[in-house]
Amino acid sequence: MIFQHLPILQILIPLLAAPLALLLRTPLLSWALALVASWASLAVSVALLLRVLAEGVVVYELGDWAAPWGIEYRIDALNGFVLIIISLIGAIVVPYAKRSVEAEVQDRRIYLFYTMLLLCMSGLLGITITGDAFNLFVFLEVSSLSTYVLISLGRDRRALIAAYRYLIVGTIGATFYIIGVGLLYMSTGSLNIGDLARLVPALADNRTVQAGMAFLTLGLSIKAAVFPLHLWLPNAYTYAPSAVTVFLAATATKVAVYALIRVVFTIFGGVDLFEAFGVHTTLMMMAIVAMFVGSIVAVYQGNIKRMLAYSSIAQIGYIILGLSFDSVTGVTAGIVHLFNHALTKGGLFMAMGCIALVAGSVRLDDMAGLGKRMPVTMAAFVAGGLSLIGVPLTVGFVSKWYLIKAALEQGSMLIAMLIVLSSLIAVAYVWRVVEVAYFRDPPDGDTAVREAPVSMLVPMLILVGASVYFGIDASTTLDIAGAAAAALMGVGG
């Protein structure tokens, strides 16, 4: 019986845990509950993906009403894979969060913090798993609201302003999305994604449908921080509590990109979107500019959390670039980079959280000599940095290899060169940190080793380790991403 209910359990576990965590009201118990819920959720998502790979698409009809009348959950290789990203990061962030949150969030708010984290997790999972465009919006709201609050909990007062900015921009994004859904409902009468994909091609010339497409794409691009709609991101990541930054950087924008993939390749898959409206070239241009601007701005940041945030904008550029090729290889590269970047950035921001806890600052100037004082954390940072650059034997290399392959498939030597060139900029910003941490002496000559607690080091090492493991043996992730891309392009023809 459990087996048949897997799709709903994926959401139900964190969703049930959230009000329970609120009722418990004690930091330790709420944390323990979040821990159990996140690991159970990970187990469910692994079981689900295995089932999808074995049997094909899994459908679950909520309330026993068949779609399109009721709401259905529909899991294929693509969202099964994204579910794993979210729940994996969730399961690793919760143990990491314990010490970090104790240091950064007030005691009497900690139980609320875990309630919010669980809600955010459920929201992101809900967006990913659903087969219904309006249901997606509902969970988008749950995840967005909880995200704003989580960001605002940062110690720095600027966290409040960052959260407020994001709230305004994020609300505009969500409103655009719902206007788009409304326009599509007006002209098709359906909210089900699969149903829409069937109905839309016949209406490709309808202006209401076209406007709907524009609103959907734009709304989700804001949430995904696609350049030039990324302005909310750097401050939000910089001032949020460390554990929150890890979770958001590794999951939130990825889920928005996933939703974007659904809109572009599933709902409008039957329409020759890329050709008809020049979306192809627009996205490609934006992606390339993002790769360069994000990386170059990152080089000049004094706050390393902010530097990593700008690097995220560049990395989202790589993902969008992959999608814009509109080929199986390109989309595979985009999807696999969702996973790879989540591992890399999650690990890097975890290193920042350790440094914030022990050294009290994540500014570059305060990092002198950290290579000696926090050897494990800095080693993890270097490994993560290598993956950002795309050095062989890391996941970053796998992603970039596929991107370049996709570019060459299209006969575009220029884009392949640009990918390599932008990676060289990543060398510059990673090297700045390495130089200060390893080759400069600590200001007070204090070289005694003081590391972060084991409960934070282990999750960090797991993520960094995974980003090396999947860099050496990428067959699993590439197979799944390839299957997902083939299914998407099969629909898109």
Chain residues binding another protein by CB under 8 A are 5, 8, 12, 15-16, 18-20, 22-23, 60-65, 68-71, 106, 108-109, 112, 115-116, 119, 122, 126, 132, 134-135, 138-139, 141-142, 145-146, 148-149, 152-153, 157, 176, 179, 183, 185-191, 199, 206-212, 214-215
Query: How big, in percent rounded to 5, are the helix, strand and coil portions of the chain?
Result: 80, 5, 15
Closest CB to another protein among 181 and 398?
A: 181
Which SS3 state, helix, strand or coil, does residue 61 take?
Answer: strand
Cβ-proximal residues to 412 (8 Å cutoff; 6+ apart), any chain: none
Q: Whose Cβ is closer to another protein: residue 126's or residue 269's?
A: 126
CA 232 to chain centre: 15
Q: Which one, 120 or 466, has the nearer CB to another protein?
A: 120
Are 382 and 431 within 8 A, CB to CB? no
Least gap, CB of 203 to another protein (angstroms): 9
Q: Which is nearer to another protein, 229 or 284 (CB)?
A: 229
d(CA 223, CA 98): 28
Q: Give the closest residue to 268 by CA, choosing from 183, 329, 338, 337.
A: 183
Distance CA 122, CA 142 (A): 8
Which residue's CB is nearer to another protein, number 215 or number 265? Answer: 215
Shortest Å, Cβ 460 to another protein: 27
Least separation in angstroms between CB 202 and another protein:
11
Tokens of residue 311, six digits: 């690097």
Q: CA-to-CA distance for 167 and 151, rounded, in angstroms?
A: 10
Nearest to 397 by CA among 349, 341, 352: 341
The smaller minimum CB distance to another protein, of residues 51 and 372, is found at: 51
| CB of 87 vs another protein, minimal distance in Å | 18
C-beta of 151 vs 481, nearer to another protein: 151
Distance CA 406, CA 105 (A): 45
Residue with Cβ nearer another protein (149 or 284)? 149
Nearest approach, Cβ of residue 20 and another protein (Å):
7
How far from 73 is each of 77, 192, 359, CA to CA, in Å? Answer: 13, 10, 45
Residues facing residue 130 across a β-bridge: 73
- The whole-angstrom separation of Cα 231 and Cα 234 is 7
* Residue 325: φ, ψ to 5°: -65, -25
